[in-house]
Structure 1
Amino acid sequence: MGFSQALSGLNSAATNLDVVGNNIANSQTVGFKGSSVQFADVYTGAMAGQGTRVAAVLQDFSNGTLEATGRNLDLGINGNGFFRFTQAGEVVYSRNGQLTLTADGYLQNAQGARLTGFPAGVGTGGQPVDLQVPAGAMNATATTGVEASFNLDATVDSIDRATVPFSTTDSDSYSYANTGTVYDSLGVQHTMTTYFTKTADNTWEVRVAVDGNEDAANTGELVFDNNGTLNEAGSTFPTYGFTPGGGAEPLNFSISFDGSTQFGNDFALDSLTQNGYAAGALVGITIDDDGTLIGNYANEKSQNLGVIALANFRNPEGLTSKGDNVWVETGASGQPLLGLAGAGQFGTLESGAVETSNVDLTRELVDLIVAQRNYQANTQTIKVQDEVLQAAVNLR
């Protein structure tokens, strides 16, 4: 009798209904990957087969659609790769990039799994660690270099230093002055004033004072050619030294005047930059499309805090689902290949977006109808077999 065939069909159809129902239930789950059932017939050499069985349930790891959320801690992978997390001492992988920042600075998902990456400055040569945003402020950095570019007026008269000694309080003792800002080792801001004095044709004396205190021991000299271009080889750019006080270390910095000119125009400052800054508290974080975690600070500076690690597998279908939208590696999947977003086979990261489920709801509804008809057909087979058996029993 064909009861065994029909029962195997019912069991397989029930599994198919479970898979389709699970796909439909997770059609709105971020990073979810739909599954499909593969069937195989059962044949033992008899004239008729013994029914069917579920050969495998395979997951479809094709990409879902990236959907903007506007939240900077939401991440989506545009291309291949998985986020790497640690959860309860186990390494797991996911396409769900909905992250939150914990009180102790870790990036984790809703289930408490922590996002991993490479420490700042290490790159893929390092061991992945749980990424953590430090709570402390960015330390202050003293100014060690200043880059300035000026136009010095070629038409002004020269000043004879032998008869007119330099004084910061005497405007007749220099030709032009300009102010800027420098920082000491404690991040305290100081006013830097640069004084230019034309001492001869195409030659300018340079002196620097910080908070009105001049470093008389170090005097620079700018030499220009006949076309008004700075002759760097013939010029001197000393290191200026000051004692800011207040417990800060002595302040020493050099000034580069690359790009300065001497034309018959008014004095003008073209650019002025320096490499020091005050301490600053963390005000926010951003994530670049290469996975770099950037800390933004109140002193308008940014700092690399690490880079997100992505993983890929030779056979993603060999991964085992652990629920909560995560998978673990198996022998069938192969070992994870770690790398950075946008490099090689890895996709880029999109901040402020998440990857939606790759379930096609319309197709799943059609598959649901087919699975339902399959189940009903197998029940009909049992019903017919029951009627045939009853007829045989009733023979007299």
Structure 2
Amino acid sequence: MSMNIALSGLGAAQKDLNTTSNNIANANTFGFKESRAEFGDVYSSSIFSNAKTTTGGGVQTSTVAQQFHEGSSIYTNNPLDLRVSGSGFFAVADHKTDTNNYNLTRNGAFHLNNNNELVNSEGKFLLGLPLNKDSNTVASYDPEIISIKDEFENPEKTGNINVSLNLPNKETAPKDTPFDFNNTDSFSRSTSSTIYDSLGKPYKMTTYYVAKYDPNTAPTNANTWEVFQTVTNNNGEEIALDVKAGSLPTGYTATGKTNAAGEAHIGYIMKFDKNGQPFPGSPEIPGDDTVDPPIDPVPAVAPSPLKIEMETFADAKIDLGGADPAQAITMNYDGVTQYASAFEMRKFEDVDGAATGHLTKIDINPEGNIIVSYSNGKDVPVGRIALARVPNEQGLAQLGGTLWNLTQEAGPVQLGDASQGSFGAIKSGTLEQSNIDMTQELVDLITAQRNFQASSRALDVNNQLQQNILQIR
């Protein structure tokens, strides 16, 4: 009996040594979680035994429990090196066509394979969640393979431009009239940007702002502005881009002017109230200041963003090389003001226009959104990294390669978004080191060694006692 007890002690000490040695061996394994051997005593009795004098039967290994506390961070220059800061696991699948059969890992060392898919060092595919293009919200929690295109699809023509700017309220009117984009003394401010046709060919679009006096205010206050646009043709010549008939809302009547060359250039008028906000007053008659609406009243209803549609490129005499001949540009003024501050272009965003772009950069934000940047200036969200949680992490089955398999003991898996609810955030350019405390492991190693020696000694003493008994004559 005592020999069996000593043998069980040797086995327990050996299990403790094996567990500690495995922890030490994986001290540099990314995402590794330390294990701890847990033991229980062996005790048995029957109705014919005396419980007061019955000894235990030795020791047995109850479980080798994993400890899922977080490891420290190691910082890299690779944006595809990821760590989960908080609760959650990455989900990786063996096959593209079976994304509902996946394993979990905390090792976030990923890279692109030859098909531009995100995989780990073993070739397992990182799973993500599809996004709605308009709102960048999760469209479905059915996981899918994350694939990144090397080129940004097909070129797209410019259709909408979002503009937000401040026009200074104390801007003197230009000394020359009428407006002529070839005469710098006939306009107050100008800005330029690039727009694209349906073939992805770039054109330079210039916007001119002309400050106007108003008889209802101080002579140096310009609360009325005329705005004109031009676009370059294939020869680099500036061509007038006129307002499309019928596209202006009330209060923003087009103003027809004739430049020095005798050509009409149709722009539009923007008026502002005393608070520096767009004024949706009565239509203005270009060139007749006597019928301007009063400026003092504040509009009862705030005006909606000003939308002005410009004439097509074809009307601007631009050869589109076989592309769509009817390409109109809609200017969406949202957040235009006239404050007592400097001229400021807050935003001039080409919403949909783009040339063909090549992959230049990949960024992953704390929410797990994968933002791909292309050489044409477009930043495209291609998906969101899926995180997984289970109620009982210690119920997960180890597979090796810092992978865990789902089991009934672990409980039902839940997929979700990083930084939402109980899910942790995702840190790009960072890897999670193993959570091994080397000092504690070395102490455990010494303890396990002492236990092994003590059990060996007990076995040796038991052997000597049996030898003494056998030598009795």
User: Taking structure 2 as the reference length, what is the TM-score of the superposition?
Assistant: 0.74
Are 1:106 and 2:132 counterparts? no
Q: C-alpha separation between the residues in 1 aligned to 2:349 and 2:436?
A: 54
What is residue 255 of structure 1 aligned with on the other side? Answer: 331
Q: C-alpha separation between the residues in 2 aligned to 1:158 and 1:308?
A: 58
What is residue 37 of structure 2 aligned with on the other side? Answer: 37
Structure that is richer in strand per residue = 1
1:255-296 deviation digits (Å, cap 9, x = unpaired): 355535499x99x67456131333311112111111111101
Q: Which runs of 5+ in 1 are unaligned?
A: none
Counterpart among 49, 56, 66 of residue 63 in structure 2 = 56
Structure 1 pair 237/323, CA: closer, same or farther in 2 (3 Å)? closer
What is residue 125 of structure 1 aligned with on the other side? Answer: 140
Kept in 2: contact 1:154–1:262 (CA 8 A): no
The offset of 1:197, in angstroms, is 6.4
Counterpart among 181, 185, 198 of residue 185 in structure 1 = 198
Counterpart of 1:241, as a letter, is E
Are 1:13 and 2:8 counterparts? no
Q: C-alpha separation between the residues in 1 aligned to 2:162 and 2:424?
A: 40
- Aligned length in residues: 388
Q: C-alpha separation between the residues in 2 aligned to 1:50 and 1:332?
A: 29
Counterpart of 1:209, as a letter, is T
The offset of 1:208, in angstroms, is 3.1
1:45-82 deviation digits (Å, cap 9, x = unpaired): 15222211111110101111112123221111111111
Kept in 1: contact 2:131–2:139 (CA 8 A): no
Counterpart of 2:78, as a letter, is R
What is residue 221 of structure 1 aligned with on the other side? Answer: 268
Counterpart of 2:68, as a letter, is F
Kept in 2: contact 1:120–1:306 (CA 8 A): yes
Are 1:147 and 2:163 counterparts? yes
Are 1:240 and 2:255 counterparts? no
Counterpart of 2:192, as a letter, is G
Bigger mean CA offset, 15-24 vs 132-141: 132-141
Counterpart among 420, 423, 434 of residue 357 in structure 1 = 434
What is residue 368 of structure 1 aligned with on the other side? Answer: 445
Bigger mean CA offset, 23-32 vs 275-284: 275-284
Structure 1 pair 197/116, CA: closer, same or farther in 2 (3 Å)? closer
Alignment of 1:82-101 (within 5 A): 82-87=89-94, 90-101=101-112
What is residue 2 of structure 1 aligned with on the other side? Answer: 2
Identity of aligned residues (%): 32
Q: C-alpha separation between the residues in 2 aligned to 1:333 and 1:107?
A: 27
Q: C-alpha separation between the residues in 2 aligned to 1:55 and 1:225?
A: 79
Q: Which runs of 5+ in 2 are unaligned?
A: 215-222, 233-237, 246-253, 255-266, 284-305
Counterpart of 1:15, as a letter, is K
Kept in 2: contact 1:35–1:60 (CA 8 A): yes
Structure 1 pair 330/198, CA: closer, same or farther in 2 (3 Å)? closer
The offset of 1:385, in angstroms, is 1.4
Structure 1 pair 124/273, CA: closer, same or farther in 2 (3 Å)? closer
Q: C-alpha separation between the residues in 2 aligned to 1:318 and 1:226?
A: 67
Counterpart of 2:8, as a letter, is S
Structure 1 pair 195/81, CA: closer, same or farther in 2 (3 Å)? closer
Kept in 2: contact 1:158–1:197 (CA 8 A): no
What is residue 78 of structure 2 aligned with on the other side? Answer: 71
Q: Secondary structure at the match of 1:392?
A: helix
User: Taking structure 1 as the reference length, what is the TM-score of the superposition?
Assistant: 0.87
Counterpart among 455, 466, 470 of residue 378 in structure 1 = 455
Q: Secondary structure at the match of 2:458?
A: helix
Structure 1 pair 98/168, CA: closer, same or farther in 2 (3 Å)? closer
Q: Secondary structure at the match of 1:132?
A: coil
Bigger mean CA offset, 5-14 vs 323-332: 5-14
The offset of 1:96, in angstroms, is 0.6
